[in-house]
Amino acid sequence: MTSALNKKVLCFIDEYGTAGAGDLSLGAVLVLAREAGRVDRCFTGLLEANANEIHAANMGDAYLQGLLHRFRVAAPAERLVLINQKIGARAGPGPVIYAQALVETVKIGLKRFQKDVLGRETIGNVEVITDQNHHNDHDDFRREIERSQAHDGRFKGVKRVVTVDSAASRLLQLADVVGYARKWVDNGSYDARALKEQFGIQLP
């Protein structure tokens, strides 16, 4: 059991925008399962003691940028990967678009995680945790995920995709802030280089 935990990779995913209703950005936080608690405590320790669930869209940009910068300084940067992936508007059912966006984001994140953290070419014990919503609680979403698990490159290493309420996970809330950060690129506040240097967030 300990050996399996040592090798398991967790990928937390949350979105900014709505699948099927224009542009969609996904934030991803990838970390080894054995280090997730440490990263969680690091992020939680930067919040006020009585902080409720973090919803980036309801918070000021200056606060969020300060939070991400402090997390960048405090977190074990060499042990985790933060990805912001923008999916342009596309036609189709929302659950399928969301599933495809999730698959694309996870594949990109795993490629970076293999290179930056693991230092190896193979990766095969991955669990994806995403914020429960009306798109990923749909049969079309599950079918698309299962198809990708069977046939789609690096995503074949994903053993499970789990949906939970983001209130239960600070790392999902961090993924929400990472996804929201695309707003600052779109409005010209930051470019891709600055986003990585200031906050450790990588754009594909």
pLDDT in tens, 122-136: 777 899 999 988 888
pTM of the model: 0.92
Q: How many separate domains does the chain show?
A: 1
pLDDT at 7 over 60: yes
Question: Which residue in the block uniquely carries the two structure tokens 């490159």?
Answer: 153
Pairing of strands 24-32, 80-87: antiparallel
Q: What is the pLDDT of residue 120?
A: 77
CATH code of residue 113: 3.30.420.10
First to last CA, the chain: 34
Q: pLDDT for 100-127, tens place per residue? A: 999 999 999 999 999 889 887 777 789 9
Measured CA to CA, the distance from residue 107 to residue 116 in angstroms comes to 14
pLDDT of residue 92: 82
| Cβ partners under 8 Å of residue 58, min gap 6 | none
| Range(s) of the domain holding residue 184 | 2-202
Q: How many CB atoms lie within 10 A of CB 162?
A: 11
Whether the pLDDT of residue 79 is over 60: the answer is yes
The pLDDT of 73-87, averaged and rounded, is 92
Reported as a pLDDT band with limits 50, 70 and 90, residue 6 is low
Reported as a pLDDT band with limits 50, 70 and 90, residue 1 is very low
Residues 6+ apart with CB under 8 A from 46: 67, 70, 71, 74
Average model confidence (pLDDT) across the chain? 89
Q: Output DSSP code: residue 117.
A: I
